[in-house]
Amino acid sequence: MDNVLYGAAYYHEYMPSDRLADDLKLMKESGMSVVRVGESTWSLFEPREGEFDFAWMDRIIDGLHANGIKVILGTPTYSMPAWLWHKHPEVLVDYEKGAQAYYGIRQNMDITNPTFLFYSERVIRKMMEHYAKHPGIIGYQVDNETTSYGVNNYDFHVSFVNYLKKKFGTTENLNKLWGLNYWGMTMNDWDEFPEKDGVTNTAYKLEWERFKRKSVAGYLSWQSGIVSEYKRPDQFITHCFMPSVQDIDQIESTKKMDVIAVNVYHGSQDNLTGDEIAFAGDFFRSVKMKNYLITETNAQTIGWDSRGQYPPYDGQLRQNVYAHMGSGANMVEYWHWHSIHYGQETYWKGVLSHDLQPNRAYAEYSKTAHELQKYGKKLVNLKITNKVAILFSHDANAALNAVPFKNAKTDMWGGSSNIYRNELVGQFHRVLYRNNIGVDFIFPENAKFEDYKLVIIPALYIAGDDLLNKISKYVENGGHVIMQFKSGFCDENSMVRPLLAPGPLRKACGFYYQEFTNLKELALKDNPFKVDEASNKVFDWSEYLIPETARPLAYYDHPHLGKFPAITINNFGKGTLLYEGTAVSDKIQEKLILQEIERAGIKTVDQDFHWPLITKSGVNDSGKKVHYYYNYSSQKSNLVYPHKSGTELVAGKAVSTGTSLEIGPWDVLIVEEN
């Protein structure tokens, strides 16, 4: 891309009256450069089976193009028309315990059902035949926020069994690897393989989750393949992922896509921290190790009812745009242009409120858009290089949610939080982010440990020997690791290793253990990390570590547990492995991470700043370093600029090393080095 794209999703078909001309005028005046359309329009593209109508959308896309606004067109398959459900109710997804989805919601289909795929392919091909040559369309979004939708249909079960046959070969092999002698569940024939309902075997659950991820990836790759038959070389294919959704293989899903996209929603007002923006950006940038797109994010308020109506403070809308860009985003689009006057998302407000008139959000949007017109070329395609990585395991995520070691917290939507992703991985990322330590994510299937000085490994509960040996070799060769409890406990089939824990990691960790306990909140003895009293706490889980070569860093303040180290560090070969045998507070985690950053020799001047002052950096297309500074507070902030001399792009003023800079409340400064 040659400039940052900035826009919104647009649904003229939702409007109570025809106001296309008015919207186009407001969009153009605001400086909007891109609009996404079409992902919810199957019932309008094909109002009756086999009858297609694109004329109404032609008018919208033609109008956008005439006003210099680029278009991303979505395949309309995540919400199927009523006639399809009515004629083929078998396309509805069956959930566990025999419950079937109903019509009246979106994302209620079995995405592997042959009938659904037949009709989906037909409407996609008709749409592509009609629009592929349109000069205003720059890219295509395949489907929308796709997941498995909890599929448990019989045809999916049959596909699962066929997948198992290929992977395991014989029922004898499956019986052995899954431990099916337990409770006398061995099978002699594949026809005896049970459906998912009520299954308790942990290996079954783990493989089922793998197959769901594989199936979703297959579906998105299938759609990408169809679209690629028609798209021009100058057009891209993408998909909008949800950061919280993990029943999808993001790496496999995006192999046929040109660029990855993500929908990021987050707190606002005093709950705006930048955490969610940074996490999603770091994660999805890492999937393809490329810049990414934001296809949806907060415009005004979010929520399916009026309990979460917190419109952003002045400056926050603009600050969020630059926060996305500082993490590597090349596009920011809101959901959506206008607020909806009916339906489930009435209170999920767009740039325009229900009165459809210019407002405070529109004014801030316009200000930001015109800024990007001036210096967006200096910010697009930001190349971000980090020396720290977090290993993210979908298998560990699935297993720890199936066999949790604690009760999950409540997430921002009021549901149960994902223990692995939100609480364990989330804590590591949050501490890194708030201490201005840049981080990538790596994944077991393609991890290049050698590219990083420090690798953080949250609760790697499921892992084959190959991966564990790779980690040990990384440490032995001079790498530094922070590893969390439960790592190395089970193999790739969720079988507990018949070894002293942590199994193949024992030498690298420098200890073993035979016992563990759930843990009520405890203090660490003598406050070894010198944090405030309230933060000198560990909780949830404890492994009774018995050091061999490891050096204890902290002990429990407890009459029985006090003889076991809570945290250890081990020199192994040329590197070190720090192990957390318990869950620690954010403050302790911060001390440990900063200690290991120093040990790895990668501390920078950016660690002199702490949240609410956040900084991000990268290299632009001109080869110049760009530094972002964000103030996440309602009070102004000051900093001494520590890098090479350059220009603050917003004000257009020269900045020298050591210059004192002031950042207003919820504001951002951007310095391009000379």
What is the predicted pLDDT for the residue at 413?
Answer: 62
Two tokens, residue 123: 């409407």
Mark whether 455 and 554 lie in a shared domain. Answer: yes
Show the CA angle centred on residue 449, arms to residues 448 and 454, nearest 5°.
140
Of the residues 563, 580, 601, the one at which a domain ends: 601
CB 86 within 8 Å of CB 80: no
The answer to whether the beta carbons of residues 292 and 330 sit under 8 Å apart is: yes
- Mean pLDDT within 632-639: 98
So what's the pLDDT on residue 414? 64
Domain boundary among 601, 623, 655: 601
Long-range contacts made by residues 250-255, C-beta under 8 angstroms, separation at least 24? 250/284, 250/287, 251/287, 251/443, 251/445, 251/446, 252/213, 252/214, 252/217, 252/221, 253/216, 253/217, 253/220, 253/221, 254/220, 254/287, 254/288, 255/221
What mean pLDDT is predicted for residues 106-132?
97
Same domain, 434 and 578: yes
Q: Are 209 and 247 in contact (CB under 8 A)?
A: yes
Q: Examine the domain organization and report whether 668 and 526 are in the same domain.
A: no
* 104 band by pLDDT with thresholds 50, 70 and 90: confident
pLDDT interval class at 417 (50, 70, 90): confident
Backbone angles phi, psi at 436, to 5 degrees: 60, 45
> Is 502 inside a domain boundary?
yes
| Residue type present at position 593 | I
**pLDDT by residue (tens digit) across 441-483?**
999 999 999 999 999 999 999 999 999 999 999 999 999 999 9
Residue 414 domain flag: yes
Based on the fold, state whether residues 492 and 634 are members of the same structural domain.
no
CA distances from 489 to 225, 484, 496 (A): 39, 11, 6
Lowest-pLDDT range of 4-13, 126-135, 189-198, 613-622: 189-198
Count of domains observed in the chain: 2
State how far the Cα of 287 lies from the Cα of 443, in Å rounded to an integer: 8
Adjacent-strand bridge partners of 163: none
Contacts of 99 (CB under 8 A, 6+ apart): none
What confidence category does residue 103 fall into, taking pLDDT thresholds of 50, 70 and 90? confident
CATH code, 650:
2.60.40.1180
**pLDDT at 412 (0 to 100):** 64
**Domain termination site, one of 601, 626, 645:** 601
The verdict on 458 and 521 lying in the same domain is yes
Residue 563 has pLDDT above 90, yes or no: yes
646 φ/ψ sector (left φ>0, alpha ψ -120 to 50, else beta): beta
User: Band of the pLDDT at 581, cuts 50, 70, 90?
Assistant: very high
**Do residues 399 and 506 share a domain?**
yes
Domain that holds residue 417: 388-601
Mean pLDDT of 601-625: 98
Are residue 422 and residue 469 in the same domain, yes or no?
Answer: yes
Tell me: do 597 and 634 sit in the same domain. no
| Across 133-156, average pLDDT | 96
Q: What is the mean pLDDT of residues 60-86?
A: 98
Q: Tell me if 622 is assigned to some domain.
A: yes
* pLDDT for position 432: 99
- pLDDT of residue 411 exceeding 90, the answer is no
Distance CA 526, CA 640 (A): 36
Return d(Cα 438, Cα 616) in angstroms, integer.
7
Regarding whether 548 and 416 lie in a shared domain, the answer is yes
In a domain, 339, yes or no: no
Pick from 431, 421, 434, 531: which is nearest to 482 by CA? Answer: 431
The verdict on 482 and 590 lying in the same domain is yes
Q: Do 542 and 625 sit in the same domain of this protein? A: no
Q: How much is the mean pLDDT over the chain?
A: 97
CATH of the domain at 595: 3.40.50.880
In a shared domain, residues 405 and 424:
yes
Residue 490: inside a domain: yes
Residue 199 lies in a domain: no
**Which pair of structure tokens corresponds to residue 562?**
């006090």
Whole-number pLDDT of residue 97 = 72
Query: 410: pLDDT confidence band, cut at 50, 70 and 90?
Result: confident
Question: Has residue 168 been placed in a domain?
Answer: no
The answer to whether residue 495 sits within a structural domain is yes
pLDDT one-digit tens code per residue, 266-318: 999 999 999 999 999 999 999 999 999 999 999 999 999 999 899 999 999 99
Can you point out the beta strands (E) in 385-536? 388-391, 440-442, 454-457, 480-484, 511-512, 516-523
How would residue 78 be classed by pLDDT, with cut points 50, 70 and 90? very high
